[in-house]
Amino acid sequence: MWQVYLKELKELLRDKKTLIFVILLPILIFPVIFAVMGLVMSSTTSKAMQVEHRYAIINPAQAPEFAEALYYHKNFTRVDTELTEVDALADAIRQGDFDVALVIPADFQQRQSAVEQSEWQLIYNQSSQLDFMFRYFNELMDKYTEDLQVNNLTQLGVDPDRLHAILNPVDLKRVDTADTRENIGEKIGALIAYILIPLCLMGASYPAIDMGAGEKERGTLETLLICPVSRSAIVLGKFLIVLSTGLATTLITVVSFGVWAAVIGSFTGMDVVANVVSSISVLDLSLIFLMLLPTSAIFASLLLAISIYAKTFKEAQNYMSPLSIVVFVPLVASILPGVELTKTTAMIPLTNVALAIKELIKGTVDYGLLLMIFASTVVLAALFIAFCVHWFQQEKVLFR
């Protein structure tokens, strides 16, 4: 078995594509992801904040102070219109005549004098995810309504010094019991698991294809089979190589994540990120790697079984494509709001590993559940390895 392992390892190290997938890609993937996401979000947000929105205001004389504040706001440009009906204004917005319309009731001042509530209507397209326009309106409206409240209460003879206590009789302050690591770990823990687990699959994919379908195409599988080595030893040697590449990809990625997070934190002044990364102990990182070990074994055995079955390199790639979809479904479930690590979720393959990694990064892991996840994943990995060994014994599979 070890002779097969060393033989396959030498061939693997001579392949530049493997070195790119296993070593170079994991080192670069985190800085590229962080840089692209940061650049896109920064650029999109900056553009959205600088856009000048064309607005139409109906009955501005009813609220001259608000109309004036809106007129001088840097993100708004007034457009005159003779339309007054809501449906007509909505149609004009759809046609691109202006971006937003504000309808102030014609009896607003009269209602204010009678201390009655009025309803204003803000008409615009709400499909944008970066809805800064509503934020700007809301800021102006909060200031305007606050001034109206003060004026109305002053007219009613309320002491100005007590206005704040009357308008806000209770000031609710939140005291968070979660520390910084737990807060940030909750936000990024599932994302890290969402990256690490597919990398185990990706790192093992190319070597698995090459050692099964690739050997069939090159005609070297028959030569290997006539060697004085049992088929079980051959398939286990190949399995260990596939497992090693998957784990190497993951290990390099974990180290790369820690290094790049520390670098980004030091250059951007994000001390919080650097502190969170430094608070993740060697034990936590070791447990994350330990959780990925049987997971990688599952992937390695599945990929090798598929590759052994396939006739050609291309056929193996086609068979492996659906496997990536199957892997992503439980990972998506692990990042959904409200999905936590419990005894139930600890028995769901892949979802349990992703949730365990998130809890380890948060520093709130239940070691009993962690042991349960590891044990169940090891049992599952053993079953898949046994299937892969059995699969390699079948003549109808090897020589399709």
pLDDT for position 262: 60
Overall pTM > 0.85? no
Give the Cα-Cα-Cα angle 111, 112, 116 (nearest 5 degrees): 60
Mean pLDDT of 204-229: 79
User: Poorest-confidence range of 148-152, 180-184, 324-328, 365-369?
Assistant: 180-184
Domain 54-167 has CATH 3.40.190.10: yes
Lowest mean pLDDT among 188-197, 343-352, 388-397: 188-197
Task: Report the pLDDT value the prediction gives residue 17, as an integer from 0 to 100.
Answer: 67
The rounded distance, in Å, linking the Cα atoms of 200 and 296 is 6
pLDDT at 371: 92
pLDDT value at position 263? 62
Burial (CB count <10 Å: 0-12, 13-18, 19+), residue 256: middle
234 touches 398 (CB < 8 A): no
CB–CB of 224/234 below 8 Å? yes
Of these ranges, 86-95, 252-261, 332-341, 362-371, the one predicted with the greatest mean pLDDT is 86-95
Task: Point out which residues pair with 123 in neighbouring strands.
Answer: 101
Higher-confidence residue of 103 and 335: namely: 103
- Supply the pLDDT for residue 264: 57
Long-range contacts of 140-148 (CB under 8 A, 24+ apart): 140/66, 140/69, 140/70, 140/73, 141/66, 143/69, 144/63, 144/65, 144/66, 144/69, 147/65, 148/112
pLDDT of the residue at 104: 93
Angle between helix axes 313-334 and 180-209 (nearest 10 degrees) is 170
Q: Can you point out the beta strands (E) in the chain? A: 53-58, 76-78, 100-103, 121-124
> Of 304, 316, 328, whose CA–CA distance to 381 is shortest?
304
Cα atoms in the Cβ-side hemisphere of radius 13 Å centred on 94: 6
Read off the tokens for 148: 């109206």
Band the pLDDT of 229: cuts 50, 70, 90. confident
Three-state secondary-structure class, residue 140 = helix
Cα–Cα dist 301/79, whole Å: 66
Under 8 Å CB-to-CB from 342, ≥6 apart: which residues? 369
> Token digits for 218?
């090159």
Of 141-145, 152-156, 289-293, 367-371, the range with the lowest mean pLDDT is 152-156
pLDDT at 248 over 60: yes
Average model confidence (pLDDT) for the chain? 80
Mean pLDDT of the 177-181 span? 65
pLDDT tens-digit readout, 118-127: 899 999 887 7
As a whole number, mean pLDDT of residues 58-66 equals 92
What's the average model confidence in pLDDT over 256-278? 58
Please answer whether residues 181 and 360 qualify as being in contact, where contact means their C-beta atoms are separated by less than 8 angstroms. no
CA distance 91 to 365: 54
More confidently predicted of 39 and 107: 107
pLDDT for res 326: 85
User: Across the strands, what pairs with 31?
Assistant: none
| pLDDT score of 253 more than 80 | no
In the chain, domain spans: 2-32+179-398, 54-167
Of the candidates 192, 167, 242, the residue with the CA atom closest to the CA atom of residue 5: 242
Pairwise pLDDT comparison (234 vs 268), residue with the higher score: 234
